[in-house]
A and B are shown apart, each in its own frame.
Chain A
Amino acid sequence: MRLILACALLFAAGSLPAADYANLPGGRFASVLPADAKTADTIVAPFALRREPVTNAQFLAFVKTHPQWQRDHVASIFAESRYLAHWQSATTLGNDALPDQPVTQVSWFAAQAFCASENARLPSWNEWEFAAAADATRADARSDPAWRERILNWYSRPSNAAVARIGGEANFYSVRDLHGLVWEWVDDFNALLVASDSRDQNDPDRLKFCGAGALNLRDRDNYAVLMRVAMLSALKAADTTVNLGFRCARSTTPGTTP
């Protein structure tokens, strides 16, 4: 038993320290995307979220042990040609990708695979939104105009500026860098803006969607969050962008995976 433990420690010592996750309580939450597509609150189950986005150094360690995710091995259906293109080589970061910068230019599939490798998954949109509603002292600061202003200022920064390093101010849940650093993938990125149901047979353009009722955006003044919804909705799963990274989540309710 002790030997196994020693081996495990030896292995751990050879790699990066285990990622740090914060526990979030979940609860009733007023999402900008109401659960019933009208006004209903969303119930977010308790979950754990990575305190910081995944860094270049962490993603490099991952591709070294998972060569199928190196940029010269990955199938194009899982990651387009710009995947990790800013790295010096498939297994070297180089000058344009600092170890403690968040990794960007990663596809949804690659992000999913990384999270699975640390026994986690991508957060759902609602989980991400729940965590990102906090400021340093409040669980939900979204109605504060000053909070909105601060976030909007980040979105107005030119996208060709270098991505900062991780380690911004911790929020109420001790999670960092949800705003102000990179956009982040969520597991259900392709579920956010499924437009209205149409029963009008005469307009083929409107015959794209099925289900009960139109999807409405609530809280239309929360531009910062709505911009994120719009951006994520425009993506395909193999896409990468210079400002799009990710962090992972875990379910903490007993009996769920992971």
Chain B
Amino acid sequence: MKFIRLLTIVLVCVASARAAELPGDSVYRLPVALTDQDGHAFHLADRAGKPQLVSMFYTSCQYMCPLIVESLKRTQKAVAATGALKPAVLMVSFDAAHDTPEKLKLVFGQRKLDATTWTLAHTDAASVRQLAAVLDIQYRALPGGDFNHTSVLILLDAQGRIVARSEKMDGVDADFVAAAKKVLAQPAN
């Protein structure tokens, strides 16, 4: 019992030490508790360590959100084609009330997402507003259950700083891919 308590204290210390190591402009400074499509709980800051592609969406979105997913897939592929690492993708839902892990899982299958690099995630409404705020994403709930929202791909470096953003949803944004290639470059042997 004592050991567990000690372990907890150590873990908390490690977690806060890690937060303190993050740069001041890191998105990972924001404490956000998330749940992924498999029901696993995690914290936004757990994503630190590897560059990421991040976007926000909601599952009942008929038109624009599938485009965001396809754009992320194309970008992933284009980055990998340069010889850089294939970037991980995190998409967080605007729809805190409806996008349960089950719903996310359904979309995960429907869009044939790569389980080794993709995460779809849910968080509470207040965290959605804060996360959108740090990512500079605008969104507005409409009475019918839809959302008006900015559609954007955001590139975070390993420490969670926003390196690039792209609102190009058709084709591939060459500048964005170049920025991703830079932060994901494999160390030369």
- Residues of A whose CB lies within 8 Å of any CB of B are 35-37, 40, 75-78, 108-109, 112, 187-188, 190-195, 197, 199, 201, 204, 207-213, 215, 233, 236-237
Q: Mark B134-152, 1 if CB is under 8 A from A, else 0.
A: 1011111111101111111
Choose one: B143, B149, B168, B169; the contact of A36 (CB below 8 Å): B143
Per the 8 Å Cβ criterion, residues 96-148 of B in contact with A are 129-130, 132-134, 136-144, 146-148
Interface size on B, residues (CB 8 A): 37
Known: A35-B143, A236-B136. A209 touches B170 (CB 8 A): no
Residues on the B chain within 8 Å of A201, using CB: 170
B143–A76 touching, CB < 8 Å: no
A208–B152 touching, CB < 8 Å: yes
A78–B29 touching, CB < 8 Å: yes
Residues on the B chain within 8 Å of A204, using CB: 167-170
With an 8 A cutoff between CB atoms, is B26 at the interface? yes
Of the A-B pairs whose beta carbons lie under 8 Å apart in the complex, a sample of 6, sorted by A's number, is A75-B29, A112-B130, A191-B139, A194-B138, A208-B151, A210-B148
A37–B170 touching, CB < 8 Å: no
Choose one: B63, B129, B146; the contact of A190 (CB below 8 Å): B129
A191–B138 touching, CB < 8 Å: yes
* Cα(A55)–Cα(B36), bound, Å: 41
Known: A36-B143, A199-B63. A208 touches B150 (CB 8 A): yes
Per the 8 Å Cβ criterion, residues 63-102 of B in contact with A are 63-65, 67
B147–A211 touching, CB < 8 Å: yes
With an 8 A cutoff between CB atoms, is B61 at the interface? yes
Residues on the B chain within 8 Å of A108, using CB: 133
Known: A194-B139, A208-B151, A209-B151. A36 touches B144 (CB 8 A): yes
A75–B24 touching, CB < 8 Å: yes
Known: A190-B133, A194-B140, A237-B133. A209 touches B29 (CB 8 A): no
With an 8 A cutoff between CB atoms, is B27 at the interface? yes
B142–A76 touching, CB < 8 Å: no
Choose one: A40, A191, A208, A237; the contact of B140 (CB below 8 Å): A191
With an 8 A cutoff between CB atoms, is B13 at the interface? no
Residues on the A chain within 8 Å of B149, using CB: 194, 209-211
* Cα(A75)–Cα(B28), bound, Å: 11
* Cα(A75)–Cα(B147), bound, Å: 30
With an 8 A cutoff between CB atoms, is B30 at the interface? yes
* Cα(A201)–Cα(B136), bound, Å: 23
A211–B25 touching, CB < 8 Å: no
A211–B61 touching, CB < 8 Å: yes
Distance from A258 Cβ to chain B, minimum over Cβ atoms (Å) = 11
B140–A207 touching, CB < 8 Å: no
Choose one: B25, B26, B64; the contact of A209 (CB below 8 Å): B64
* Cα(A121)–Cα(B27), bound, Å: 22
* Cα(A76)–Cα(B30), bound, Å: 11
* Cα(A116)–Cα(B139), bound, Å: 23
Distance from B135 Cβ to chain A, minimum over Cβ atoms (Å) = 9
Distance from A190 Cβ to chain B, minimum over Cβ atoms (Å) = 5
* Cα(A208)–Cα(B67), bound, Å: 11
